[in-house]
Structure 1
Amino acid sequence: MTPDTRPDPDKLLALVGNDGGDSARRRGRLKIFFGANAGVGKTYAMLSEARRLHSDGHDVLIGVVEHHGRAETQALIEGLPIMPRREVVHRHVHLSEFDLDAALSRKPALILMDEYAHTNAPGSRHPKRWQDVEELLDNGIDVCTTLNVQHLESLNDVVARLTGVWVKETVPDAAFDAADEIALIDIPPDELLKRLSEGKVYVTDGAHTRAADNFFRKANLGRLREIALRRAAERVDAQNDALSAAMGQSEAATGDKILVLVGPDPLSALLIRHTKRMADRSRAPWYALYLQTDRHETLSDNARRRVETHLRLAERLGARVVRLNAGRAASSILTYARQNGFTRLVLGHTTQPWWRSLWGGQSLSQKLIAQGAGLEIITLNADTPTEAKDTGSRFRLTTSPRDYLIATAITGVATALGVPFRAVIDPDSFIMLYITGVVVTAARYGIGPSLFASVLSVCAFNWFFVQPYYSFTFDNVSYALTFAVMLTTSLIVGSLTARLSLHARLARRSEAETRLLYDVSRALSSVSTPEAIGQVAQRQLQPAFDADIALWHDGVQITGEPIGDPRELGAMQWVAQNRQIAGRDSDTLPTAQGLYLPLALEGTRLGVLSLTPKDRTRQFSGAEHLVFETVASLIGGALQRARQTQIAETSRVESENEKLRNVLLASLSHDLKTPLTVMNGAVGTLLKMRKKLPREAVDELTALWNHLTRLQKFVSNLLRMAALTSGQLKLNFEPYLIQEVAGAALARIDAQKGQRRLQTQTIGTVPMVRIDGALIEQVLINLLENAIAHTADDGLISLTFETDADRVRVRISDNGPGLKPGEEDRIFEKFYTYGQQTSDRQTESTGLGLAICKAIVEAHGGLIYAKNNPSGGASFIFTLPVDYR
């Protein structure tokens, strides 16, 4: 196997899943029982598997299962635990919904959630049931659910074209593709029609005949069955491709990259779904582009909302959304496509009005085809069922009536300025007054009032400045051409001025967003505390968005007015826990007053930013969401920087304290070592003459000698600890058998073990290790003395050697009282003593032995840790690298 073909371990681990590891962090597994349509037996199959798992001892809970009065389904439900639903009152109607919070509190191993595409009642945390399932999975709960093929988002228009029925409840393909297992439930159309005739297929009340005649036609059922089988096969192909890529055996990439153009018209939804299916077949990345030209400002509110809806649809289906500010649509699209390596361009095609054809005008699709050399351009006509008929106006000519009144007033002012001079100045000169008025109107109030002012100016000029005055007749026929030229000039100048003013407003808006991000970034770079960061966020964002700003850091609100509404606090806490956006104009908790954005960086939870508009009817646009997310990332980075600064400062102080402590310890140890040696020698000399001394004096000298010995050992430990922590100790690495080193240690502590039993065990073949034998012997001595000190006189101490991959593991176990909760990490700290010694030895712990063990083992590149034994007592384990030389 060459490095080029070596499997990617990260990809393989991702494919294997996350069954292992900490259950608290494990993501649950999703199994979807997938069918072509209702009645194929998805719920029956799901309940059958649930009963099997329940009989095997698994914790299975029914969250939502709809039996619709079918006896065989009810029989499968009996005996399985069912979670009560919560009651929701909406417009005086009582509804029962899945209780998400109760399920998270109960936290079963597996929960059944029928009808994956179900729409929740208003006021629920999530609008859709599939979003409830996502939260269950994020909290480590396995889920089984059911889904029909017509509820897949990318196939929505295909099913509508086939059956003539638009399915409103859909599930993003990304959620379907992310499922751990898909169980395809399939029966022939004839059998399904038989089940329908027997009343075993649920249809809405009063719709049985219509369903049988329309949706449940045999041709439709066969086609839906084919679509379901094909979609399941595509998912299997995608999984095989992912496995092949992880194994380094993937086929050559097609090199395709697809760009779909999105707009406000309903055809965009069909384009997005078509492109999704095309990308899946080609296994190519795809992007959704919205060109934000001056046309965007002239769209109606409904059209703008449709644009945001289409972009969110593209995101749900897996596209990367791009918003591009540009002037000329065709050239901007082609430039972006070529610069970013797109090979296919998908867009809608509409028939040009006859009057544009007369003037040689081309549609966007025609311009792209004419200029898009080297690109594969795919156009779709709106010949399929659509969800809406309104496409929005191209220009918003009807603005506020006040704007037209002001346009009338401006025309009146131009007239009033010219009337006093009409007897002395040529009438044609007054045309410039009116054109000036049209320019002012266009610049301030847009194209609609400017067109109105153009027509009104021609009428006023004829009425006041062309003889005979105060009539719409004229003596000179040439004035007809003058009026036509004046009207044309006014219209052209007005429209160009309005367009230029619109571009200027767009530029100012873009500049304002850039200036805001720059000011926020610069202000955040000069502060280093969470409180100061919160003040910056409030000071910069509140006036920019006319919204109340609040910031939470580590669960504490550090800026903004305190929020007392439990629903708002619940939204904030949900965002902090799940690190996903929620609140108004989002898919989660959309009824909340504020928009809540998570502040997270590199998987670290930092806080939550909320924006609550002062105008409660205001809706945040998709462009504003992008700005909010950018600002949130800047604030998150600042909070992370503040946290790292605080940690670095704390580490620096601790490091300085540690250095000072080591210097003091080394100095103190050196100063004590010589006098202690002299005193110990003098006491030893006196003890040699014990026969000449009274017994009381001998006892006192013996006690003094013991204390001096302990003090000498303590000073030696201090010196060794100072040498280890300062890095001055040089290790003498040599190959050793760990059993030989352990034998020397056992010989040295043999006199201390008393009546305690000490046994050794070697599991398997233990290879040699490259170590400093004297230091590892000291580690073993310290651990054995620790075990002796915490074991009764008749206790048992075991010493075990085994191999774990490329390391040798040594375990010293005792049957003493064990460790208290939380002591597993602290016992290796300097001067920390634990437990209660059961030994009758005269020595007392100084809290340095285990700290020295930790320092020596880590200097050898090993690990050391402690834990309680299931049968009582404690085990101290350390590992050493195997010597492969």
Structure 2
Amino acid sequence: MTADQRPDPDKLLALVSKDRGDGAPDTPRRGRLKIFFGANAGVGKTYAMLSEARRLFAEGRDVVIGVVEHHGRPETLALIDGLPLLPLREVSHRDIRLTEFDIDLALERRPHLILIDEYAHTNAPGSRHPKRWQDVEELLAAGIDVYTTLNVQHLESLNDVVARLTGVWVRETVPDAAFDAADEIALIDLSPDELLKRLAEGKVYVAEGAQTRAADNFFKKANLGRLREIALRRTAERIDAQNDALSAAMGQAESATGDKILVLVGPDALSARLIRHTKRMADRARAAWFALYLHTDRHEALPDKARRRVEHNLRLAEKLGARVVRLNAGRAASAVLTYARQNGFTRLVLGHSPQPWWRALMGGRSLSQKLISQGAGLEITTLSADSAEDKAEADGRTVAQALRPLPYLMAVAATALVTALGLPFRDVVDPDSFIMLYMTAVVAVAARYGIGPAVFTSVLSVLTFNWFYVEPYYSLTFDRVGYAVTFVVMLITSLIVGSLTARLSLHARLARKGEVETRLLYDISRQLGGARDAADIGQVIERHLQTVFEVELGLWYEGQQVAGKAEHDPKELAAVQWVAQNRQMAGRDTDTLPTAQGLYLPVSAEQSVIGVMCLTPTETTRQFSGAELLVFETVATLIAGALQRTRQTALAEATRVESENEKLRNVLLASLSHDLKTPLTVMNGAVGSLLKMRKKLPREAVDELTALWSHLARLQKFVGNLLRMAAITSGQLHLSFEPYLIQEVAGAALNRIEAMRGDRQIRTLISGTLPMVRIDGALIEQVLINLLENAIAHTAEDGQITLSFETDADRVRVRVSDNGPGLRPGEEDRIFDKFYTYGQQISDRQTESSGLGLAICKAIVEAHGGLIYAKTNPLKDGVGGGASFIFTLPVVTSGA
């Protein structure tokens, strides 16, 4: 096997991890999805799902029924009996009580496997997600396995195919991406004859209120056969895709053709068919596909309903797996071909509608005709409207766009205005001079209303000029043949000028719009650079977005609202929490919590959500366009960068202050310890001399001198610790490494603390043969002394202290344990900090802690390359407790 033929380990690992349901080590496990897939209702999907669930339940798996539509079938009810059921959630909609799957209860219960029937079901209004498949996605993200059922007619890409077969449009659909992402597809197949027999026996349920025509069409034998064929083919396509992925991982050639498909999307119903057709084409060819929408002058003329349909079509394409591209263009055909060739597309898919008679008379060609004639080297597929409804809609939209009344009324008004301005001078000025007035009207109308009204103004100007300025007046006749040439030239010139003006006006409007967005992002980015905290960031964003998009801003940072009007609506706060947890957009105009007033976007940085941005339009009925969503997502990215910068700035400032404080503490420690050392030595010597003459002193004086000597000794010890800590923190601690037996060092330390242990019992335990360690003996002895003194201070007079040694690979582990009160929760990480004292000292000796002993131990052990930590001892049968301090030291290696 050559290097090129070897399996790709990363791809194999990804396939195995997906098959096992494992994720990356630092990511939570994703649940596994199994879909019981069939060609039609009644083939036995729910029965098969319940049978599999009962088998797993009998094996001890935690199986729960989330929702199962049994429709009163006895055999289905028998399978449900005995399985745990989650209560359904009641929803009130228009005074009607509905029951829905309770996703919050399922997430709280967290079973290993949950059954969710009818994958394509539409949830009641007010639910978190409009569709049940979105509930399933959230369960899978939480690590819960799901079994569900689905009919082939509910797949989004096959929706129009099924409609042509049966005459019924299925409104409840599931994106193909969700179907393809399933871990397992179980095809439940049944022959048409057997299904018709089940229907005759009353075993197939038809939804209440369904039209009789729909039921009849679905259950015709011919249609059942076609639906069965579609289901089998769709399952086979999925298996082919899995085999291709495995072949690629094994280093074998993939069957993909390398095609790249571009589909043109518009505001018509045909675009939805184009998108679904391209999805099926891309699946068969294993090709990447894109959906392109051209933002031309016609977009500006579209009514609100048509613009909403454009957004719907683009979202449909995105839901089916396409990458959406929006392109500003003046000349549609040229822009499409340039984009396709520059980006390596091999196929174009577009719709074709017959040209209206008036455009055909003018010699105009459709976009599809222009692309076919100019698209050399590209494979171009066109789909025509194949129904009277589609054609009527296309023709009606074209006529409506062409005959909108206001632009043409304004054309008439402009022509009338220039005519009225010129009439008083008709007898003193050459008539040909008035042509420029009409050209001005053409230019003004073209700049404001586009090419259609400009053409109308051109024709109207020629007629008006003839009527009012050419003799004989007030007729469309003329007495000189030369005026015929004048009229033709005037018409051609006005058409050219009007067309160019309309295009330049469109480009100017698009440029202004792009400039506004660019200026907005530039201003936001520039002003965010000067923001000091999250509140300043929120004010900057709110000021700019409110001006341009007329929205109210809300900003949450690390769980707290830092900008915008305080939010108290539970539904809105639930959207904030959901976005923060799931790192996805939610709220209005989305598929999650669509009834919320605001649009919520995650503010993500370094693979985590640090905030949530909310945008609420001041006009409640307004819908955000796809272009606006792109701007909002860009703004969210800018906010994330600014919040990270402020966080890093605050952290750097805190680090700088802490560093300065640490330097100041070290200077104070050094100066204080050096300044105290000499006078303490003198005082200690003087008190010692006086104590030598104790026989000559009164009893009271001797007692006071003894107490003073004890306090001076403790103070000298404290100063000694200060000196050691100052040496450690200043980097002046020099270690002299030599091989030692740790038992000998421990024996010296035990001798040093013998006088202060009192009646406490100190046990020494050695596990196995201890190797020699490479240490600075004096410093490790000091570590043991500090730990033993600490244990004595926190142990009762009759307590017990254990000093134990054991070998751990290339380390020796030393443990000092006591049976005192132990550590408080959370103290394990703090007790080694300087000047931190823990617990309650229960020794009756004067051993008050300075809070430096354990800090010195930590510094010395880490300087040896070891590790030191503390933990509370567990209780066993009511005996034990206390704390243990453990540190490790490297052993002497051969040749050292």
Fold match (TM-score > 0.5): yes
* Deviation by residue 1:713-766 (Cα, 9 ceiling, x = unmatched): 3333323323333333345567x79xx43663365237449424443446xx99
CA distance in 2, matches of 1:460, 1:840: 117
CA distance in 1, matches of 2:173, 2:811: 53
Match of 1:217 among 224, 229, 232: 224
- After superposition, the CA RMSD in angstroms is 4.3
Counterparts of 1:667-816 in structure 2 under 5 Å?
667-677=671-681, 706-731=710-735, 740-741=741-742, 744-745=745-746, 748-749=749-750, 751=754, 752=757, 754-761=760-767, 775=779, 778-779=782-783, 782-783=786-787, 785-787=789-791, 789-791=793-795, 793-795=798-800, 797=802, 799=804, 801=806, 803=808, 815-816=819-820
SS at match of 1:642: helix
Classify 1:388/1:106 alpha carbon distance in 2 versus 1 (closer, same or farther; 3 Å): farther
* Deviation by residue 1:371-392 (Cα, 9 ceiling, x = unmatched): 666x663524348899966458
* Deviation by residue 1:211-233 (Cα, 9 ceiling, x = unmatched): 32158624532441342243245
Shift of 1:512: 1.0
Classify 1:686/1:149 alpha carbon distance in 2 versus 1 (closer, same or farther; 3 Å): farther
CA distance in 2, matches of 1:301, 1:866: 69
Paired AA for residue 618 in structure 1: R
Which residue does the alignment assign to 2:525? 521
Paired AA for residue 119 in structure 2: Y
Shift of 1:653: 0.9
Shift of 1:656: 0.7
Paired AA for residue 755 in structure 1: Q
Counterparts of 1:317-716 in structure 2 under 5 Å?
317-340=320-343, 342=344, 344-348=346-350, 350=352, 353=355, 377-382=379-384, 390-391=393-394, 393=397, 397=401, 401-476=405-480, 479=483, 482-677=486-681, 706-716=710-720
SS at match of 1:611: strand
* Deviation by residue 1:150-209 (Cα, 9 ceiling, x = unmatched): 434445455556666544323334434444x32524345366565555444433245655
Classify 1:732/1:81 alpha carbon distance in 2 versus 1 (closer, same or farther; 3 Å): farther
* Deviation by residue 1:127-170 (Cα, 9 ceiling, x = unmatched): 11222233334445444433344434445455556666544323
| Contact 1:36 1:148 (C-alpha < 8 Å) held by counterparts | yes
Shift of 1:444: 2.2
| Contact 1:267 1:386 (C-alpha < 8 Å) held by counterparts | no
Shift of 1:541: 1.5
| Contact 1:68 1:202 (C-alpha < 8 Å) held by counterparts | yes
Shift of 1:666: 2.0
| Contact 1:87 1:94 (C-alpha < 8 Å) held by counterparts | yes
CA distance in 2, matches of 1:359, 1:865: 89
Classify 1:691/1:7 alpha carbon distance in 2 versus 1 (closer, same or farther; 3 Å): farther
Shift of 1:623: 0.5
Match of 2:121 among 111, 118, 122: 118
Which residue does the alignment assign to 1:95? 98
Shift of 1:495: 3.1
CA distance in 2, matches of 1:883, 1:144: 59
Shift of 1:103: 3.7
SS at match of 1:217: helix
| Contact 2:63 2:113 (C-alpha < 8 Å) held by counterparts | yes
Match of 2:172 among 169, 172, 181: 169
Which residue does the alignment assign to 2:315? 312
Which residue does the alignment assign to 2:87? 84
CA distance in 2, matches of 1:317, 1:802: 61
Match of 2:238 among 208, 231, 241: 231
CA distance in 2, matches of 1:571, 1:774: 62
Shift of 1:447: 3.3
Stretch moving more, 547-556 or 438-447? 547-556
| Contact 2:247 2:254 (C-alpha < 8 Å) held by counterparts | no
Classify 1:457/1:654 alpha carbon distance in 2 versus 1 (closer, same or farther; 3 Å): same
Counterparts of 1:801-880 in structure 2 under 5 Å?
801=806, 803=808, 815-837=819-841, 842-859=846-863, 864-871=868-875, 872-877=881-886
| Contact 2:749 2:782 (C-alpha < 8 Å) held by counterparts | no
| Contact 1:160 1:385 (C-alpha < 8 Å) held by counterparts | no
Classify 1:65/1:838 alpha carbon distance in 2 versus 1 (closer, same or farther; 3 Å): farther
CA distance in 1, matches of 2:24, 2:841: 38
Paired AA for residue 828 in structure 1: F
Segments of structure 2 that go 5 or more residues without pairing to the other structure are: 876-880
Counterparts of 1:283-298 in structure 2 under 5 Å?
285-298=288-301
Identity of aligned residues (%): 65
* Deviation by residue 1:519-558 (Cα, 9 ceiling, x = unmatched): 1111111221222222211221211112223333334433
| Contact 2:262 2:345 (C-alpha < 8 Å) held by counterparts | no
Classify 1:501/1:884 alpha carbon distance in 2 versus 1 (closer, same or farther; 3 Å): farther
Which residue does the alignment assign to 2:67? 64
Shift of 1:788: 5.1
CA distance in 1, matches of 2:389, 2:53: 38
* Deviation by residue 1:212-269 (Cα, 9 ceiling, x = unmatched): 215862453244134224324524653x46866xxxx686897936242331144544
Segments of structure 1 that go 5 or more residues without pairing to the other structure are: none
Stretch moving more, 381-390 or 298-307? 381-390
Count of residue correspondences: 869
CA distance in 2, matches of 1:575, 1:67: 34
CA distance in 1, matches of 2:45, 2:60: 23
Stretch moving more, 643-652 or 305-314? 305-314
Paired AA for residue 34 in structure 1: F
CA distance in 2, matches of 1:544, 1:139: 39
Shift of 1:592: 2.3
Classify 1:79/1:253 alpha carbon distance in 2 versus 1 (closer, same or farther; 3 Å): closer
* Deviation by residue 1:572-593 (Cα, 9 ceiling, x = unmatched): 3433443322222222222222
CA distance in 2, matches of 1:858, 1:17: 41
| Contact 2:244 2:255 (C-alpha < 8 Å) held by counterparts | no
Which residue does the alignment assign to 1:184? 186
CA distance in 2, matches of 1:254, 1:31: 26
| Contact 1:161 1:384 (C-alpha < 8 Å) held by counterparts | no
Classify 1:589/1:676 alpha carbon distance in 2 versus 1 (closer, same or farther; 3 Å): same
Paired AA for residue 597 in structure 2: Q
Classify 1:768/1:102 alpha carbon distance in 2 versus 1 (closer, same or farther; 3 Å): farther
CA distance in 2, matches of 1:361, 1:288: 26
CA distance in 2, matches of 1:495, 1:507: 18
CA distance in 2, matches of 1:602, 1:290: 32
| Contact 2:187 2:235 (C-alpha < 8 Å) held by counterparts | no
SS at match of 1:615: coil
Classify 1:815/1:317 alpha carbon distance in 2 versus 1 (closer, same or farther; 3 Å): farther
CA distance in 1, matches of 2:857, 2:366: 79
Paired AA for residue 652 in structure 1: R
Paired AA for residue 77 in structure 1: I
Shift of 1:320: 3.0
Stretch moving more, 467-476 or 579-588? 467-476
Shift of 1:442: 1.8
Classify 1:225/1:402 alpha carbon distance in 2 versus 1 (closer, same or farther; 3 Å): closer
Match of 2:32 among 8, 30, 33: 30
Paired AA for residue 559 in structure 1: A
